[in-house]
Amino acid sequence: MGFAANLGKVAAPSLSSPVSPRSGAEPNLERVTEKELVSVSADAAVNSQEGSVAIVAPDGLLESLRAELAKTESSRVSVLTAEEARGREFDRVVV
C-alpha cells in the first residue's frame, strides 16, 4: 500500500492516501520493453507463489495475454481490465 500511497501523492495530490487493513510484501517493479510485456507479465503471474493471481491490463493486451497464458495451462491466473478487477481480491497482481 505504500507504493500506491506514494504514487497517489503524485497522480492525485488532493486525495487522501489509501490505508490497507492487511500487510504484505512491497511490489516488485520490473522495467520491460513493449515487445517483452506480454511474455514477462504471463511468466510473472504463472511463476508467482500459490494463490489467486490476476493480470490487470488494458483492453488491447487482453487477447495476447490470454493466448500466452494458454500455452502454460495455468488455470489460476485471471486476465482482467482495471474495471473488471475493481472490488475483487487476489493474492498476487501483475499490472
pTM for this predicted structure: 0.72
How confident is the model over 41-75, as pLDDT tens digits? Answer: 999 998 887 788 999 999 999 999 999 999 987 78
User: Which pLDDT belongs to residue 38?
Assistant: 92
pLDDT given at position 1 = 60
Q: How confident is the model at residue 8 (pLDDT cuts 50, 70, 90)?
A: confident
Closest CA to 69 of 45, 89, 92: 45
Instruction: Please indicate whether residue 1 or residue 29 has the higher confidence score (pLDDT).
Output: 29
What is the SS3 assignment for 55? strand
Query: What CA–CA distance (Å, rounded) separates 57 from 38?
Result: 10
User: Distance between CA atoms of 85 and 77, rounded to whole angstroms?
Assistant: 12
Phi/psi at 48 (5° precision): -75, 170
Mean pLDDT, residues 11-39:
80
pLDDT at residue 16, rounded to an integer? 79
* pLDDT band at residue 30 under the 50/70/90 scheme: confident
A 10 A CB-CB count for 53 gives 21
